[in-house]
Amino acid sequence: MMNAKTSTQALPGQRQTKQRALVYEVIRESKGPLTVPEIHVQVRQTMPRTGIATIYRTVKLLHSSKWIQAVTMPDGETRYESADLGHHHHFQCKICGEVLDIDHCPMSLAPGAELPGGYILHEHEITMYGICPRCR
């Protein structure tokens, strides 16, 4: 068929929409918050021609639209996760750097708790470190 090829080619706008949906899906399906280069690696498995600049642009857009939120790790690294996650913490492998979500909260002081001296707790962040199954 002469026009079989043109029918599979997406218009620039369609390609952008597909990339945006794919970036969000990669972030939402992940077991932990991802860096932009990690998102890039996964997006390229489906859309191999996607450049890292496109990922940066798309992540910025999803972040400003509040679909995703930024996670600043204690070492200063920025990662991204879906904005609809409940209270959770992070575990980072000290060897490969992979970050995993931990739904279990080890802290007994809940937000709103009063601390000695009249201080009221609003929130807490806990980052755990260890070794992942692949690095063991």
- By CB under 5 A, name the binding residues for Zn ion: 93, 95-96, 98, 105, 107, 132, 135
Question: C-beta of 93: minimal distance to Zn ion in Å?
Answer: 3
Instruction: Please say which residue, 21 or 113, places its beta carbon nearer to Zn ion.
Output: 113
Reference 123, options 88, 81, 75, 85; nearest CA is 88
Question: C-beta of 44: minimal distance to Zn ion in Å?
Answer: 21
Instruction: Please say which residue, 70 or 105, places its beta carbon nearer to Zn ion.
Output: 105
Question: C-beta of 45: minimal distance to Zn ion in Å?
Answer: 20
Q: How far apart are CA 87 and CA 81, in angstroms?
A: 13
3-state secondary structure 74-104: CCCCEEEEECCCCCCEEEEECCCCCEEEECC
Instruction: Please say which residue, 3 or 108, places its beta carbon nearer to Zn ion.
Output: 108
Contact 91, 128 (CB under 8 A): yes
